[in-house]
Each structure stands twice: as structure tokens, then as C-alpha cells.
Structure 1
Amino acid sequence: MKFDSEELTAIAQPEGTVRWDMYATIHKALRACMCDALVAVGRMDTDDDLECAQTCQSVLGLMDFCHSHVQHENAFVHPAIEQHAPGESARAAAEHVEHEADIARIAAAATRLMGLPAALRRGEAHRLYHQLSRFVAHNFEHMLMEEHQHNAVLWAGFSDAQLQGIEDALRAAIPPQEMMEDLRWMLPALSPAERAGLMRGMREEAPLPAFSAALALARQHLNATQWSKLEGALAQAS
């Protein structure tokens, strides 16, 4: 049975209510990382060896981020969707296969670009920029579909506590180093309220070294105003 996402959203999340959204924070992090990498490739000085290497490494980091995200959704989110709406995750699953192929091609292109002499980089960099542009554009549409269509199914089939349990299981499967890399993009991409909620949750549930490392990461990547707001929110909640 297929569900109409707009109808389900209206039923499952009436106006004025806020449901648990497994996609919200990680998709903000992905969008931020994608935009950063795309802009970096577009403005890259291909005659500068260090800048070229650093930019290509950023692209490779984004590809690793996207690959892991696809795997996590396939393993945890899609089975939950299929439990209540068989076939509803088929489109996203097919697009994930396409994304994995794109990830491999873009990673290979970035690696190839790093190995070229400066005189041969400009054309390859332009091709990489276009490849990455298409990838980002498709992923933005894909994530928006998930946030509407998939959330509608999840909200209709699960309570917020159940959805939080699924997300907790997903996060528990992420290695610590990968989690820190996710947080590097997530923390500056969130709203002040979202950021404070995430950090309060970590303070309550994560080991102290993990929380301290996340706090140091926030201090590194937030501007002065953002950091002040986070400090104030954490102080209020302590």
C-alpha cells in the first residue's frame, strides 16, 4: 500500500506539533559538508599544490560521509519504513545504489586530480566541479523527499519514543571517530536550540571524554555568538 505523504504528514504531525525527526540533524550536517566541498572545488587554485591536495581531501571526506550515511539508512531506517509501508523505501533504496556509484566515481576523480601535475589540473578540476554539482543537486532533492515522504510513514507508524530508539541504535553502531567527524559538520549547521539539545543529551548519556571532545569541537567550529549561546544554554540546564 502506498501512502500519500502530504496526507500522512497532516495526520501524523498536526500543525503546531513537533515529532521526532531522525533526518533533521544529520541532513543539515550533510548539506553543510556538501556545500563546503562544492564551493571549495569551484574556487580552488589548481596551481597551488597544497590547496589542491586539501580540497581533494575534503571531497574524499565528503564521499566517506555520504557512503556511511547511505549504509546507516539502509540498515536502520528503511527496515522501519518497510515494517509499516512495504515498498515505500524502494525509490530511496534505488537512488542509494546510484549514489554509491557516484561516490566511487567522484572519489576516483578527486584522487586522480591530486596525482596530476599543475599544468593538467584545470580541466580535471572543472569536470570534478560539475560531477560534484550534479551529485549535490540530486542529494538535496533526495534528502527532501526522505524528510517529507519517509517521515510521514515513520510518524504514522511509530511513537516518538520508538523513533528515538531506532536513532539511538543507529548512532550506537557508528564508530567514535566517525561520530566526531559527523559532529564537526553537524554542530555549526544546527540552530541554537538544536545544538543545545544535542549537547545536553551528550552530557547526560555519553562518557565524559566523549562529551568533552564534542564540546571542544563546538568551540573550534562555532563563531563567538554561537558559542556564547551554547554556553548559556548548557549553564541553564546544569
Structure 2
Amino acid sequence: MHRTDLYRNVHMGQRARLFALAVDLGNADITRSGVAAHLAARCLAMTHELRAHADHEDTFIHQLLRERAPEAADALDAEHVRLDVAFAALDEQARELPTADAEALPESQHALYLAWNEAISAYLAHLHVEETVAMPALWRHADDQELDAVFTAFHASLTPEETLDDLRKMLPAVPPAVRTAIVRDVLNAGPEEQAGSTLAAICTTLSPDQHARLYEELDVPEAWAVRAAMGQGDAAAQSSSRAASS
């Protein structure tokens, strides 16, 4: 029986972007103007996002976990403290990269690459605990109505822009059937006349193959595609927010 999973899809999106940044840190041409600053900014943005994600979990998920499975909640609290220390050290190293002189840049780049991969290793272990300890504990001690309420409350706390950003980050990383189901829910929750622009807005991060597969599985009317191509009526963020809160 399918149960509401509060971690699965968002964690898949995080993993995909963590790995992609690791690859980019390793193969970037650090000698080009602006590349060091760009890589540093991406690292800082990612650690900021992961901290915000932890805060959201603490507010919306772990409160219920503390009530029903306090030992699992204590383990996650300790994980978050440990990771925050690691992220602080990583942030400092990222900020130093653009200040390195030209001769030292290649080694500074590789040092940040190694530090980033070490942080990924620690974060993957944390995700594993959430997915194999925390979520099963919630399944044992809470019903789907309670879990759905957590999911709804979290999405209600997001701005329309944040909801759209979350969808764009997550959709490329999930399987086609899951992607289609998520997008269909978003479209069904919004006004029909805005469906084309909504679909176009939330699918901007998909690969061409993913985009084509999604449109095919949704059986998108040709008129939607025309409106999307023309960029008419971008009310997608508002529609996405309503869908995520429904």
C-alpha cells in the first residue's frame, strides 16, 4: 500500500543537484574570468538551501516525529547540528576561492571539490537516516491524514515563487510517472485557461526528452503548446502554489 512519503521526491532533487555541482566543481575552467566567483556562489546557494530545508523539516515534520518517535527526532537533531558545522566550514572555503591568486587557483579549486564531496558524503548519510529511520517511524505512529496535513502545511508556508522554484528543482530528478502525477495535480488545481503557461513555467528545467515525454503523457492540447511558446499569461507561480496546498 502506498503511503505518503515526506522526504522521497525532494531528496531526489537534492541528490541530483549536489552531484551536478560536484561534477562542475571538478571540471570547470577556473582560469576563465568569473568562474571562481560563480562556483563559490553556487556552493553558498546550495548550503543556504540545505539549511532552509532543515529548518522546514524541523518546523513541519520533526515536531510530529518528536511527539510520536522522540528517539528518531533526537538522532535527526544531532545530524542537523553536525551538518551545520560542516556547511559553515564549506562556506568559508567557498568564499576564499575567488580571492586566490592565479597560481593558486587550480589547487584551491580542487580543495573545494574535495570538501564539497566530503560534505555530500555526510549529507547522503543524513538523508539515509531520514528515509530509513524517520519516515518508517512516522508510518508506524501516524496515519496518512496526519502526514498529508504536514505536507499541506509546509506548502502553504511557501510563496508562489518558492513553490515554483521547488518544482523546477525536483521535477528533473524524479521518474516520469511521478513527474506526470505531480504536474497533473498542479494543472488540475489551477484555472484551465492558465494551464498552458503554468505547464511551460514549471517545466523549464526539464531536458528535451523529459519535456517531450511529459507533454505526451499529459496529452497536452496543441493550443496549450502554442500559448506556452508565446509566453502568454504567466500565472504559473500562483497556480503551482494552489496545487501544492491542496
User: What TM bracket, shorter-length normalisation?
Assistant: 0.7 to 0.9
> Where do 4+ consecutive residues of structure 1 move more than 4 Å?
206-214
SS of corresponding position for 1:119 = coil
Q: Is 1:27 aligned to residue 11 of structure 2?
A: yes
Paired position in structure 2 for 1:142? 126
TM-score normalized by the length of structure 1:
0.83
Superposed displacement of residue 74, structure 1? 1.0
Could you tell me which of 156, 159, 165 is aligned with 1:172? 156
Could you tell me which of 13, 23, 29 is aligned with 1:45? 29
The amino acid across from 1:39 in the alignment is V
Q: Is the 8 A contact 1:46 1:52 kept in 2?
A: yes
Q: Is 1:109 aligned to residue 93 of structure 2?
A: yes
Q: Is 1:181 aligned to residue 165 of structure 2?
A: yes
Identify which of structures 1 and 2 has the higher relative contact order when contacts are C-alpha pairs closer than 8 Å and 6+ apart.
1
Paired position in structure 1 for 2:67? 83
The amino acid across from 1:59 in the alignment is C
Tell me, in whole angstroms, the C-alpha distance in 2 between the residues paired with 1:210 and 1:107. Answer: 41
Tell me, in whole angstroms, the C-alpha distance in 2 between the residues paired with 1:118 and 1:222. Answer: 36
SS of corresponding position for 2:104 = helix
The range that moved more, 107-116 or 160-169, is 107-116
Q: Which runs of 5+ in 1 are unaligned?
A: 1-16
Paired position in structure 1 for 2:234? none
Paired position in structure 1 for 2:211? 227
Paired position in structure 2 for 1:152? 136
Tell me, in whole angstroms, the C-alpha distance in 1 between the residues paired with 2:207 and 2:31. Answer: 31
Tell me, in whole angstroms, the C-alpha distance in 1 between the residues paired with 2:92 and 2:100. Answer: 13
Paired position in structure 1 for 2:188? 204
Tell me, in whole angstroms, the C-alpha distance in 2 between the residues paired with 1:139 and 1:49. Answer: 31
Paired position in structure 1 for 2:199? 215
User: What is the number of residues matched between the two proteins?
Assistant: 221
Q: Is 1:57 aligned to residue 74 of structure 2?
A: no
The amino acid across from 1:134 in the alignment is E
Q: Is the 8 A contact 2:164 2:202 kept in 1?
A: no
Superposed displacement of residue 43, structure 1? 1.2
Q: Deviations over 1:172-220 (max 9, x none)?
A: 2233333333223211001111111111222233578997676334543
CA shift in 2, pair 1:219/1:165, >3 Å: same
